[in-house]
């Protein structure tokens, strides 16, 4: 674990010195405990964007951004990607340990038998415009689902908590696939409990009632890998949103709807969709220098989508796994996607460019995931919905952790910069 810093830090102001304790984790930077800063010293900590804030203790996922390391419950993501699968990883994230084969079987069976949606839920889809974005539909439908499971979720009861989490993991593929089916005017397909989690999602998404849909096992494996790589990523914007919503004791399913909303943005989960739009716009390898110049121009809002990360100052380890999977799937399908060539060239040019080197901007998970999803036949507007489906596991794991280690409602303060008190003008 290396050398640790002294036990406390001293903060000085006009009223004198204040001693603040330092907390050590098992890995990663230590944290100054400022919990008593306001109560004891009448001071607040200012950190908009949470660049230096540890918002909670967590034992689920660890990222070393400098080294490009990602661990789920201590296991490196590359090893899990090679040897595990999404449902096993879901169990690991939720419960802290890899399941025995009996536990894995029971967990998978539980998930497979909660995939159906209440028939009333299907009626909600009819209320959306036909051209609605699947993420908009997902925010709405998951929010609506909370109305169906409210009184029976006793958050104080561990068994009921875990049941609620399993239900969500099970229903998310059905909700996501139905969101897409509705948006393109196709009939909504029912889940098939005799299929694996990944294969079931593919048959709901791509199957039609008029023909049998045979799932390609290579594609089922690839989508399972995408789920696994997106399952959790410690205190990112959407997970922090879920934690904050849950800290008030709100219905967990409603909290997941808030996470989906947060994930949708292009700075977060929406980047996978934005990467494909960007690569399509670039169009040819010859146009790459122009795109790089735009990304560097501070007057231009254009950014290289799929590049840069708040935590990673090195290659996102998930990006390398996805890049390889994308190449394998394209080869398996016999597809020669010009966007892959543009992406590879763009990455190579950017990684040698001083602007990107200085700022430590590397490809992130979204840079190649869109190319893989596109090759598998996923429409661009479904990319973020796939991310939301997978991240549901992370969100419920953090919700379960929070219910066991609740520090009360999350309630940040502010540095007020508005008017001082002033009287209402008299007429
Ligand atoms: N293209 C061009 N310049 C960039 C980029 C980029 N993609 N990302 C960061 N920069 C520059 C930024 O302009 C700033 O430059 P300067 O110091 O001269 O002002 C510097 O790098 C630091 O950027 P920042 O905005 O302070 O970094 P951040 O930690 O707030 O933002 C980020 C992280 C992911 C939002 C950002 O890198 C970005 O917008 N990337 C593109 C969107 C993207 O790929 N998002 C997916 C993130 S990974 C999946 C997920 O978590 O959901």
Q: What is the pLDDT of residues 21-50, one digit of tens each?
A: 999 999 999 999 999 889 888 889 999 999
* CA of residue 137 to ligand 1 center, whole Å: 28
- Using CA atoms, how far residue 320 sits from 85, 117, 150, 297, 364, in Å, is 18, 36, 41, 28, 9
Classify residue 349 by burial, with Cβ atoms within 10 Å: 0-12, 13-18, 19+.
middle
Closest protein CA for atom 24 of ligand 1:
310
In ligand 1, the atom with minimum distance to the C-alpha of 268 is: 52
The verdict on whether 83 is a catalytic residue reads no
Phi-psi region of 141 (alpha: psi -120 to 50; beta: other; left: phi over 0): alpha
Give yes or no for a contact between 63 and 233, defined as CB atoms under 8 angstroms apart: yes
Measured distance CA(24)–CA(32) in Å, rounded: 9
For ligand 1, whether the C-beta of 307 sits within 6 Å is yes
For ligand 1, whether the C-beta of 363 sits within 6 Å is no
Give yes or no for a contact between 184 and 128, defined as CB atoms under 8 angstroms apart: no
The verdict on whether 114 is a catalytic residue reads no
For ligand 1, whether the C-beta of 364 sits within 6 Å is yes
Which tokens go with 251? 């219905």
Closest protein CA for atom 32 of ligand 1:
309
Q: Pocket of ligand 1, candidates 49, 233, 274, 308: which has the most ligand atoms within 8 Å of its Cβ, to mutate?
A: 308
Catalytic residue among 195, 224, 366, 398: 366
For ligand 1, whether the C-beta of 191 sits within 6 Å is no
Please give the model's pTM, rounded to 2 decimal places: 0.93
User: Residue ranges of the chain with pLDDT lower than 50?
Assistant: 1-2
Closest protein CA for atom 16 of ligand 1:
359
Measured distance CA(369)–CA(250) in Å, rounded: 33
* CA of residue 303 to ligand 1 center, whole Å: 8
For ligand 1, whether the C-beta of 309 sits within 6 Å is yes
The helix/strand/coil state of 123 is: helix
For ligand 1, whether the C-beta of 232 sits within 6 Å is no
Residues 6+ apart with CB under 8 A from 86: 197, 198, 224, 227, 228, 231, 390, 393
For ligand 1, whether the C-beta of 388 sits within 6 Å is no
Measured distance CA(301)–CA(147) in Å, rounded: 40
Measured distance CA(274)–CA(317) in Å, rounded: 20
Q: What is the pLDDT of residue 1?
A: 41
In ligand 1, the atom with minimum distance to the C-alpha of 238 is: 52
For ligand 1, whether the C-beta of 310 sits within 6 Å is yes
């Amino acid at each position: 674990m290396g050398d640790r810093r002294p036990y406390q830090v001293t903060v000085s102001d006009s009223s004198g010195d204040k001693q603040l304790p330092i907390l050590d984790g098992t890995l990663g930077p230590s944290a100054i405990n400022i919990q008593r800063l306001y109560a004891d010293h009448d001071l607040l900590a200012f950190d908009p964007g949470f660049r230096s804030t540890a918002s909670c203790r967590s034992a689920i996922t660890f990222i070393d951004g400098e080294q490009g390391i990602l661990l789920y419950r201590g296991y490196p993501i590359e090893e899990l990607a090679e040897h595990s699968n999404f449902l096993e990883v879901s169990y690991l994230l939720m419960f802290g340990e890899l399941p025995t084969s009996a536990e894995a079987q029971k967990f998978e069976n539980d998930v497979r038998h909660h995939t159906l949606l209440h028939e009333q839920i299907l009626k909600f889809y009819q209320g959306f415009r036909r051209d609605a974005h699947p993420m908009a539909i997902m925010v709405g439908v998951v929010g609506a689902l909370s109305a169906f499971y409210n009184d029976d979720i006793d958050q104080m009861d561990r068994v009921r908590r875990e049941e609620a989490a399993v239900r969500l993991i099970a229903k998310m593929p059905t909700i996501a696939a139905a969101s897409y089916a509705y948006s393109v005017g196709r009939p909504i397909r029912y889940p098939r409990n005799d299929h694996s989690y990944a294969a079931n999602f593919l048959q709901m998404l791509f199957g039609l009632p008029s023909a049998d849909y045979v799932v390609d096992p290579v594609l089922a494996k690839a989508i399972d890998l995408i789920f696994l790589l997106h399952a959790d990523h410690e205190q990112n914007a959407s997970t922090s949103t879920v934690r904050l919503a849950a800290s008030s004791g709100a219905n967990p399913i409603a909290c997941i709807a808030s996470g989906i909303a947060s994930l949708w943005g292009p700075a977060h989960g929406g980047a996978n969709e934005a990467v494909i739009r960007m690569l399509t716009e670039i169009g040819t390898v010859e146009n790459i220098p122009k795109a790089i110049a735009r990304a560097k121009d501070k007057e231009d809002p254009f950014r290289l989508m799929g590049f840069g990360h708040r935590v990673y100052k090195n290659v996102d380890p998930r990006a390398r796994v996805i890049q390889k999977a994308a190449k394998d799937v394209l080869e398996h399908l016999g597809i020669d996607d010009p966007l892959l060539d543009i992406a590879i060239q763009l990455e190579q040019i950017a990684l040698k460019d001083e602007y990107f080197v200085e700022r430590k901007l590397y490809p992130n998970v979204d840079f190649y995931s869109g190319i893989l999803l596109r090759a598998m036949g996923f429409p661009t507007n479904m990319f973020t919905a796939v991310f939301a489906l997978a991240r549901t596991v992370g969100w419920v794991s953090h919700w379960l952790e929070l219910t066991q280690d609740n520090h009360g409602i999350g309630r940040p303060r502010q540095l007020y910069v508005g008017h001082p008190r002033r009287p209402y003008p008299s007429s």
